[in-house]
Amino acid sequence: MKEKVKFIIGRIKAGRLQEMWRQTKWIYQYARHYWFAMVFYTLLGLVSTVLALATSYVSKDLVNIITGYDAGSVVKTFCMMIGLNVGTTFLSQISDFAASYLSMRVDAEIKSDIFAKILVTDWESLTGYHTGDLLTRWGSDASAISSGVLNFIPNAVIYVFRFISAFAMVVVNDASFAVFAFLGMPVSLILSKTLLRRMVNNNQRSAAMGAKMSGFNQETFSNIQVIKAFDLIRLYVARLKQLQKEYIGMKMDFQKMSMGTSLLLSTVGLLVSYASYGWGIYRVWSGAIDYGTMTMFLGLSGTLTGTLSNLTSLVPTSIGLTTSAGRLMDILDMPREDYSADDEVKAFLEAHRMEGVSLYVNDLQYSYRNGTEVFRHASMEAHPHEVVALVGPSGEGKTTMIRLILSLIQGQDGGALLTGGDESVPLSPSTRKLFSYVPQGNTMFSGTIAENMRNVMPEATDDEIIEALKLACAWDFVERLPEGIHSKIMERGGGFSEGQAQRLSIARALLRHSPLLLLDEATSALDVATERRVLKNIMTDEYPRTCIVTTHRPSVLNICKRVYAIRDKKCVVLAEEEINEMIRNF
């Protein structure tokens, strides 16, 4: 006993109970929005309990009538028995239907809310999590929360009401039977403490293992071409089997403990039931009660034992809920992006759409969270109808600068502004609506070409889509497709070459008609002639677009207005002679 007290005190000092309370309050923030659904579900459960207890009472009368202890009407009592059973069955079906409907609604709403919150979470913080882990938290953990929000509190109320009402019926008819309702309680309480400790550990291990497997599967299917190309099929099948072995081993460890617990609880339950039978037989034999009362007591004894078991099961359920809540809170408690300038940026865009917008980066400093410094006093500028290039070896900061411009990451010092006329706005998540962005790699979504285009401009006409495709030099091959702009694109741009997918991505960005266009190695898969044509089309387009290109190949630099090289953590403007030398040496 002394050791158990020390353990509990240790857990309190470790902050586990405080953490569970914080997670419970977080769950309440969702639960309070669904109080009507919980009240409705609870009322159905309470009515079902009343009908079940009434059935037990009527069954007592029926047994007494049949055995001659009562001279009541068999037909009337039998009809009541049938009516109550039919009512209970009907109500059970309604309850199941309502629970399924409400559970799906709550699940969809909570997932939608969490999905939206994850999308506005600070990007740099979010990159610390594997995609598979995020999917597991958003999927499994969010479902656990939605199920718990609807079921946990109603079930707790229903089980307590069921136990009290059944216990009251026993006491009113024969108080001596009430003793048997509590015979198994000490064992249940002792086992619940053991289960509590093991459940916390198991839920954490299970969630981590689930995320690991989800991440493995997601990466495998995303990179199946590379796996085939390197003939790694056997290796990845072996890795999956190893993960499955670890997962099964973890589950079986807990299953063994659960099996032992269940066997012990079942044995205690049987002993209690047999003791109830023996006591009932003795009470009938001594004339203290009739057969009907004994039958009712035996049924109620099972109800009481089962309800105690249900109440005990709420403990591991609460552990599972708080564990899932904690995993989601890890994500949702991270810093959120600030979109408070949305209205100001919209007004700025409308005021300067026709004249264009300039970008000024002034004395910017940025270091990664691991302490690696990328920029120190970096400055650059770009204006409408200009193509400005950022060059430098891979890993020197070109993509980092694009992320800073998009406010995906925040500089530690210095600043960056968008200006139009005499007005300016600082870069922030709100200013992303002024940008079109084509990142490295294939960024097309599954669907048709037209659907991909309209992702960024839903109201675009077919003619506007075709015009954007022409600017990006993509109409040449799209026109030859049997279904034209309504041709299907498979996942990750499947069905098109890398160069074609890049031109489609550029066309999508141009269609948006944003004042600023960012091309991050977006022409790397194009031949030099096509690359030059695309950039010239952008420069000669009447729309006052400001274009910034990052590239590691200098073949198009002589058509850029300015070329910045990232050197010594700064952006240095290259002279024409240096640009020509880079082109000759490429």
- Position 12 scores a pLDDT of 44
Q: What is the pLDDT of residue 495?
A: 75
Query: From CA 546, how far away is CA 561, in angstroms rounded?
Result: 11
Determine contact, residues 523/509, Cβ cutoff 8 Å: no
**Among 475, 464, 478, 468, CA closest to 438:** 468
Q: Which residues pair with 425 in a beta bridge?
A: 418
pLDDT score of 382: 94
- Residue 502's Cα: distance from chain center in Å? 30
Give the span between the Cα atoms of 277 and 291, in whole angstroms: 12
* CA gap 70, 62 in Å, rounded: 9
Q: Across-strand partners of 490?
A: none
Contact between residue 121 and residue 138 where contact means Cβ atoms under 8 Å apart: no
Measured on CA atoms in the order 269, 274, 279, 284, is the torsion positive or negative? positive
Give the pLDDT confidence score for residue 152 in this predicted structure: 80
What are the residues facing 386 on neighbouring strands? 546
Cβ count near 527 (within 10 Å): 11
Catalogue all structural domains in the chain, each as residue range(s) with its CATH number: 21-332 (1.20.1560.10), 343-585 (3.40.50.300)
pLDDT at res. 22: 81
Apex 575 CA angle, 572 and 576, nearest 5? 145
pLDDT in tens, the chain (586 residues): 455 445 444 544 455 567 777 888 888 777 777 787 788 878 888 888 888 878 777 777 666 667 665 555 667 777 777 777 787 788 778 877 777 777 787 788 888 888 888 888 888 888 888 777 788 888 888 888 877 777 788 888 888 888 888 888 877 777 777 676 566 556 555 655 555 556 656 666 776 777 777 778 777 877 776 677 777 788 888 888 888 888 888 778 777 766 766 676 667 767 776 777 777 777 777 777 777 777 777 777 777 777 777 776 777 677 778 888 888 888 888 888 889 999 999 999 999 988 899 999 999 999 988 778 889 889 999 999 888 999 877 777 888 999 999 999 888 888 899 998 889 999 999 999 999 998 877 678 888 899 989 988 889 999 999 999 999 899 989 999 888 999 988 877 677 888 888 899 999 999 988 999 998 887 777 887 888 888 888 877 788 889 998 887 777 787 888 999 888 888 999 888 888 888 777 6
Which DSSP category does 140 fall into?
A: I
- Round to whole Å and give the CA distance between 81 and 411: 75
52 closest CA partner among 20, 81, 29, 22: 81
CA distance to 16, 84, 208, 432, per residue, from 334 (Å): 21, 53, 19, 21
Q: Are 505 and 438 in contact (CB under 8 A)?
A: yes
3-state secondary structure of 437: strand
Largest pairwise CA distance in the chain: 116
Whole-angstrom Cα distance, residue 247 to residue 542?
60
Residue 216 contacts residue 239 (beta carbons within 8 Å): yes
Tokens coding 392: 């430098």
Q: Is residue 490 a contact partner of residue 446, using CB atoms and an 8 Å limit?
A: yes
Task: Say what the pLDDT of residue 89 is.
Answer: 80
Q: Any bridge partners for residue 416, and if so which?
A: 361
Give this prediction's pTM.
0.72
Of 145, 147, 148, 182, give the one whose Cα is nearest residue 163. 182
User: 413-420 and 358-367 as β-strands: parallel, antiparallel, unpaired?
Assistant: antiparallel
User: What 3-state DSSP class applies to 174?
Assistant: coil
